[in-house]
Amino acid sequence: MESKANFTTSTDKCLLQSDELYEAGTLLIHSLKRNSFMFMFLRAVMGTAPDAGQFMALLLKLINPKKTIEIGVFTGYSLLLTALTIPDDGKITAIDINRSTYEIGLPIIEKSGVKHKINFIESEALPVLDQLLKDPANKETFDFAFVDADKINYANYHEKLLELLKPGGVVVYDNTLWGGSVAMPEDSVPKFRLASRDAAIEFNKYLGNDTRVQISQVPVGDGVTVCRRL
Ligand SMILES: C[S@@+](CC[C@H](N)C(=O)[O-])C[C@H]1O[C@@H](n2cnc3c(N)ncnc32)[C@H](O)[C@@H]1O
Ligand SMILES: O=c1cc(-c2ccc(O)cc2)oc2c(O)c(O)ccc12
């Protein structure tokens, strides 16, 4: 099989580098097709990969979180997936700098009957996390967080999320393998991808040395790292 950096289109960013391997290896087809149209629409450009979404839905069912936070909403693929998976009285604080992309997916969220679980905040994420932390009632209350935004801030998000998460709470980071580029020589990575690739390498080292969490880097989608707060 040809080895290539997976930078061709936004929809084939999975690390399994052929369709056959992706389908055979992950036995995805049946469970993904059940909801494919709705989710394909929302995933459009930057959405989390379907196998990573499937993995996250499984994690969410296992954790059954009531209080969650998402950083990086885009058109709402992972947001809808979370909203559909958590219990009916579960809540998601969803943060993105751009409300207009959230509004593209909003009609589907509304049709799915899960809008009541979502508090969308249009903002840079860091000030929102700081604001939440100003209220002691928010500290150590979140069960789950998903981070899928600007890669250069992942370590900053991690520090604040650890204060917001309960002991035993889980944070999932998307794109921690960044198309496989974290293991590639710098000169084979397209220039526009370098900053995020370097940030992912630094972040992975930083998480690997963080004794406050138990981690597992899972090679689904673009690489997701699951951290459980100790
Ligand atoms: C990869 S997309 C999120 C995809 C989404 N999780 C999904 O599955 O469809 C990244 C999003 O992060 C948002 N973003 C980037 N930097 C941000 C920041 N500093 N604070 C909040 N949102 C940010 C972008 O506007 C974009 O919508
Ligand atoms: O193509 C992208 C770009 C991003 C990205 C890059 C830089 C930022 O400050 C925010 C977002 O994120 C992506 C992503 O998370 C994904 O799953 C696929 C593609 C992209």
In the predicted structure, residue 21 carries a pLDDT above the cut 90 = no
Nearest to 142 by CA among 67, 61, 85: 67
Is there an atom of ligand 2 within 6 Å of 148 CB?
yes
Predicted confidence band at 24 (pLDDT cuts at 50, 70, 90)?
A: low
Give the per-residue pLDDT at 42: 57
pLDDT tens column, 65-96:
999 999 999 999 999 999 999 999 999 999 99
Nearest to 80 by CA among 23, 40, 51: 40
- Give the mutation target among 11, 75, 106, 150 for probing the ligand 1 site: most ligand atoms within 8 A of CB: 150
Mean of the per-residue pLDDT values for the chain?
Answer: 89
Is there an atom of ligand 1 within 6 Å of 124 CB?
yes
Is there an atom of ligand 1 within 6 Å of 47 CB?
yes
In the predicted structure, residue 45 carries a pLDDT above the cut 90 = no
Amino acid identity for residue 54 in this structure: Q
Q: How far is the CA of 188 from the centre of ligand 1 (A)?
A: 25
Is there an atom of ligand 2 within 6 Å of 96 CB?
no
Q: Which residue lies with its CA nearest to atom 14 of ligand 2?
A: 46
Contacts of 175 (CB under 8 A, 6+ apart): 148, 151, 196, 200, 222, 223, 224
Residue 26 class from Cβ within 10 Å (0-12 exposed, 13-18 middle, 19+ buried)? middle
Is there an atom of ligand 1 within 6 Å of 72 CB?
yes
Is there an atom of ligand 2 within 6 Å of 44 CB?
no
Q: How far is the CA of 46 from the centre of ligand 1 (A)?
A: 8
pLDDT tens column, 116-133:
999 999 999 999 999 999
Other beta carbons within 10 angstroms of residue 205's beta carbon come to 11
Q: From the CA of 77, which ligand is nearest?
A: 1
Q: From the CA of 105, which ligand is nearest?
A: 1
Q: Which residue lies with its CA nearest to atom 7 of ligand 1?
A: 47
In the predicted structure, residue 2 carries a pLDDT above the cut 70 = no
Closest ligand 1 atom number to CA of residue 175:
1
For the chain, give the percent of residues with pLDDT over 70. 81
pLDDT tens column, 132-167:
999 999 999 999 999 999 999 999 999 999 999 999
What phi-psi label fits residue 91: left (phi over 0), alpha (psi between -120 and 50 degrees) or beta?
beta
Give the per-residue pLDDT at 6: 47
Please report the DSSP string for the chain in residue order.
-----S-S-TT---SS-SHHHHHHHHT-HHHHHTTHHHHHHHHTTTPPPHHHHHHHHHHHHHH--SEEEEE--TTSHHHHHHHHHS-TT-EEEEEES-HHHHHHHHHHHHHTT-GGGEEEEES-HHHHHHHHHHSGGGTT-EEEEEE-S-GGGHHHHHHHHHHHEEEEEEEEEE-SSGGGGGGS-GGGS-HHHHHHHHHHHHHHHHHHT-TTEEEEEE-STT-EEEEEE-
pLDDT tens column, 188-214:
999 999 999 999 999 999 999 999 999
What is the rounded distance in angstroms from the CA atom of residue 11 to the CA atom of residue 59?
23
